Structure 1
Amino acid sequence: MMSDYAVEGRLQLRKKPQQERSIQRLEAILEAAIELFLEKGVAETTMSEIAVRAGISIGSLYQFFPQKAAVIKALHERFSAQLEGFIRQIFANVQTLDEAAERAADSLIELNAMFREQRIYMSLWQAIVVDKDLSQLSHEFHEQVIASFYRDLSHLVPQSEFERFRVNIKLMILATGEVIRFTTQQSDEVARAHLDQWRRIIRGSIFAF
């Protein structure tokens, strides 16, 4: 079994840039990785190709990242931060569970639009789910979202229903992720039909107590 230290080593950014030149070089690496991941796919992209596209030597690339998994992690953290900013405001200041259900349902359309615009989300997800160490990142992100939703909504739920509420929230997050991943790969008509049906399910059952 790989130790926590070894896992951290393969995923960790080796050098946090301080000077402007290093910051620009890191940005060039990440932008090059995004371009190549979208063009070729994550699995087919090599570290050498990332270095060439970024205009740096392979040695310079390895000064920042020990392997491609670390590049994926850095991109995941960047885009998760963007996504988290949207997700955390969904249930802010809600007054009733009916209002929460409406907000959850309406947010689906915005999430679908975000994933369609930022196609790299899908590429990163496909790479993360097949890597045991990286998949932990997705799990941790889900747990953070659950904690945020629970904090915003728990005051609206009877104490006797807290556990069922937590289960409902987790199921909603997991299932919504799959719905979004499916709909972003479909035509607008097919996507809308599935999103509308999932919105009805959320309104009718996820927040029903």
Structure 2
Amino acid sequence: MSSPIEEESLAVPLVQAVAPQRERGRQRVAAILEAAALVFVENGYDKSTMTEIAARSGTAIGSLYRFFPTKGAVADSLLVQYAKSTVAGLAELADQADRMTLEGLAEALVDLREELLTQRAVVLALVDAREGSQEIRQQFRAHSRAGMSQVLQKAIPGLPDARAHAMAILMLHVLKGVAAANAEDPATRHMVLAEMRELLRSWLVSARQAVAATSA
């Protein structure tokens, strides 16, 4: 089975933001990142400014630069925030997967993706514009695949590492369809997500049957 992943190993690799030590500072940083997410989605990375981020978050420009020395540091922190949320969600599912039905696991995977849609919109606004985000993207990809592999191997004991890794890659790609479904009208969105859940359930059942047949 894949070795456990730790979300703390996800770090901003280039322009490091200053981590606040006090609760008031942590709340201020959270407000800055929330405002920055809106600004980046609305304007795109290139047209967004630190001045607008400061104004939208109600932060003095000097305080903003104290926590984030550059706009790139703000963007990288948002990318890491999304990565950590995803890794934490997969780790929670991995802890529960051996007690869940495969139908329940399929539901939970789609639900997790839906919960992260808002953060993903921010990521899409940043990744293509930020050359410095490449290292974060590589870390995130590796952690996501490892996390999904853990979920699959907990849900299907005996699933070989190589197959778990291949399934994880494909499953993460399939789950990207949740964002596309969200753009449809409510009735169509409901049907698309229902089909996705059934697709994942059938896939998981097939994989479990294959493992059982091999072990027999």
- State the TM bucket, normalised to the shorter chain: 0.7 to 0.9
TM-score by length of 2: 0.70
Pick closer, same or farther for the CA change 1:166–1:47 going to 2, 3 Å: same
Taking the TM superposition and a 5 Å limit, the aligned residue runs for 1:19-98 are: 19=22, 22-95=25-98
1:66 counterpart SS class: coil
Contact 2:114 2:178 in 1 (8 A): no
Which of 1 and 2 has higher RCO (CA within 8 Å, sep 6+)? 2
Contact 1:142 1:173 in 2 (8 A): no
Pick closer, same or farther for the CA change 1:126–1:186 going to 2, 3 Å: farther
**Which residue number corresponds to residue 8 of structure 1?**
13
Percent of aligned pairs sharing the same letter: 26
Contact 2:54 2:64 in 1 (8 A): yes
Runs of 4+ residues over 4 Å off in structure 1: none
**Which residue number corresponds to residue 196 of structure 2?**
198
Letter in 1 for 2:13: E
Contact 2:93 2:151 in 1 (8 A): no
Q: Deviations over 1:93-121 (max 9, x none)?
A: 4449x93x4234212442354245xx343
Pick closer, same or farther for the CA change 1:166–1:113 going to 2, 3 Å: closer
Between the two proteins, the alignment pairs up a number of residues equal to: 195
> How large is the RMSD of aligned CA atoms in angstroms?
3.2
**Which residue number corresponds to residue 147 of structure 2?**
148
**Greater alpha carbon shift after TM alignment, 164-173 vs 60-69:** 60-69
Q: Deviations over 1:106-147 (max 9, x none)?
A: 12442354245xx34312233124433314323322322332
**Which residue number corresponds to residue 172 of structure 2?**
173
For 2:72 and 2:55, the matched residues in 1 are separated by 18
**Greater alpha carbon shift after TM alignment, 178-187 vs 32-41:** 32-41
Unaligned runs of 5+ in 2: 1-11, 211-216
For 2:76 and 2:145, the matched residues in 1 are separated by 21
**Which residue number corresponds to residue 3 of structure 1?**
none
For 1:21 and 1:205, the matched residues in 2 are separated by 47
**Which residue number corresponds to residue 106 of structure 1?**
107
1:204 counterpart SS class: helix
1:138 matched to 2:133? The reply is: no
Unaligned runs of 5+ in 1: 1-6
Pick closer, same or farther for the CA change 1:27–1:149 going to 2, 3 Å: closer
For 2:20 and 2:84, the matched residues in 1 are separated by 19
Contact 1:88 1:145 in 2 (8 A): no
How far apart are 1:167 and its partner, in Å?
0.6
How far apart are 1:90 and its partner, in Å?
2.4
Contact 1:111 1:180 in 2 (8 A): no
Q: Deviations over 1:146-174 (max 9, x none)?
A: 32343354364547x43123111121113
For 1:72 and 1:113, the matched residues in 2 are separated by 22
